[in-house]
């Protein structure tokens, strides 16, 4: 969930560089609670637990309930943080890779890892597995990429890792314009997501809203068609 409620004057916001952002997230993962570190830092842990539970259900909507126990789908959790959704997707029967730039978060993921999970320290743009994914999700990550070029390159790179007919789910706000909220948060418009995804051979299926309190976030869901 985005932390847009405590926004200052967006026009005057000095945004974090990519390097500063990595330091921010690694420190945040090291110093804040299991859920607040990747969820909403303004919420207590029980409220974050509710938020994560609601969004877990949205993931089922996005990816569908069906999974063949003999050959679960291969899924990438891109920007997995401490791995809440990665572990959940593995429990759903998928074979899941979790990647994140935070070494601290990936260390915690590895300590908690069960079957069908593997974790790697990697930026979205650097991840190069020797296979394609049936689905990629990136939850509350893209709106923390402050640089537009990195934001677009990340989507374009992830898109190349999805098989034909596979899905991609990218979390951001449901909004018609771009907006800087904080030094580490910039949301992009629906139109920009559609434009980039369509130019990568995806058809946009729709937007799955979190619908948790007044949360304007949700998942742009698209399927690879070419
Ligand atoms: C708000 S947290 C979300 C974590 C997780 N998806 C969740 O919902 O619990 C944002 C995560 O994105 C990671 N991140 C930021 N920029 C990244 C990048 N370029 N590549 C990979 N991970 C990145 C941060 O380290 C952080 O763990």
pLDDT band for position 6 (cuts 50, 70, 90): very low
- 135 falls within a domain: yes
Spell out the long-range contacts of 106-113 with Cβ–Cβ below 8 A and sequence spacing 24 or more.
106/80, 108/29, 108/82, 108/83, 109/80, 109/82, 109/83, 112/83, 112/87, 113/83, 113/87
Measured from the CB, is residue 51 less than 6 Å from ligand 1?
A: no
Q: For residue 5, is it within any domain?
A: no
Provide the domain limits for residue 176. 12-224
- Place 12 in a pLDDT band, splitting at 50, 70 and 90: low
Distance 25 CA to ligand 1 centre (A): 7
Q: Do the domain assignments include residue 2?
A: no
CA distances to 49, 178, 187 from 167, rounded to whole Å, are: 26, 24, 21
Of 36, 101, 143, 185, which is best to mutate to test ligand 1, by the most ligand atoms within 8 angstroms of its C-beta? Answer: 101
Distance CA 78, CA 101 (A): 10
Average pLDDT, the chain: 92
100 SS3 class: strand
Q: What is the mean pLDDT of residues 60-66?
A: 85
> In angstroms, what is the span from residue 198 Cα to ligand 1's centroid?
24
* Ligand 1 centroid – CA 168 distance (Å): 16
Is 0.75 topped by the overall pTM?
Answer: yes
pLDDT at position 7: 47
- pLDDT for the residue 8: 45
Residue 1 lies in a domain: no
Q: Please tell me the total count of domains within the chain.
A: 1
The reported pLDDT for the residue numbered 13 is 67
Whether 84 is in the pocket of ligand 1, judged by its Cβ within 6 Å, is: yes
Task: Look at residue 4 and tell me if it is in a domain.
Answer: no
Residue 197 falls inside a structural domain: yes
CATH number reported for the structural domain that contains residue 22 in this entry:
3.40.50.150
- Give the pLDDT score at 65: 78
What is the predicted pLDDT for the residue at 214?
A: 86
**How many Å lie between the centroid of ligand 1 and the Cα of residue 70?**
30
124 lines ligand 1 (CB under 6 A): yes
Q: What is the pLDDT of residues 66-91, one digit of tens each?
A: 666 555 799 999 999 999 999 999 99
Question: What's the confidence (pLDDT) of residue 195?
Answer: 98
Residue 184 lies in a domain: yes
Cα of 169 vs centre of ligand 1, distance in Å, is: 14
Residue 154 lies in a domain: yes
Does 119 contact ligand 1 (Cβ within 6 A)? Answer: no
Side-chain-side CA neighbours of 107 within 13 Å: the count stands at 6
């Amino acid at each position: 969930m985005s932390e847009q409620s405590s926004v200052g004057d967006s026009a005057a916001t000095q945004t974090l560089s990519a390097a500063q952002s990595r330091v921010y997230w690694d420190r945040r993962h090291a110093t804040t609670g299991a859920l607040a570190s990747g969820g909403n830092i303004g919420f207590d842990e029980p409220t974050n637990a509710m938020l994560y539970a609601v969004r877990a259900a949205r993931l089922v909507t996005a990816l569908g309930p069906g999974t063949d126990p003999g050959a679960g789908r291969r899924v990438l959790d891109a920007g997995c943080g401490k791995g809440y959704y990665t572990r959940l997707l593995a429990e759903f029967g998928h074979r899941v890779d979790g990647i994140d730039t935070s070494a601290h978060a990936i260390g915690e993921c590895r300590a908690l890892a069960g079957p069908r999970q593997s974790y790697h320290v990697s930026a979205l743009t650097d991840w190069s597995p020797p296979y394609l994914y049936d689905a990629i999700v990136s939850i509350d990550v893209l709106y923390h990429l402050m640089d537009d070029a990195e934001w677009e390159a990340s989507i374009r790179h992830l898109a190349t890792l999805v098989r034909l007919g596979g899905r991609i789910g990218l979390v951001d706000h449901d909004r018609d314009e771009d907006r800087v909220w904080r030094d580490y948060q910039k949301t992009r418009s629906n139109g920009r997501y559609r434009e980039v995804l369509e130019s990568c051979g995806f058809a946009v299926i729709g937007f799955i809203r979190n619908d948790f309190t007044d949360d304007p976030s949700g998942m742009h869901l698209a399927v690879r068609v070419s």
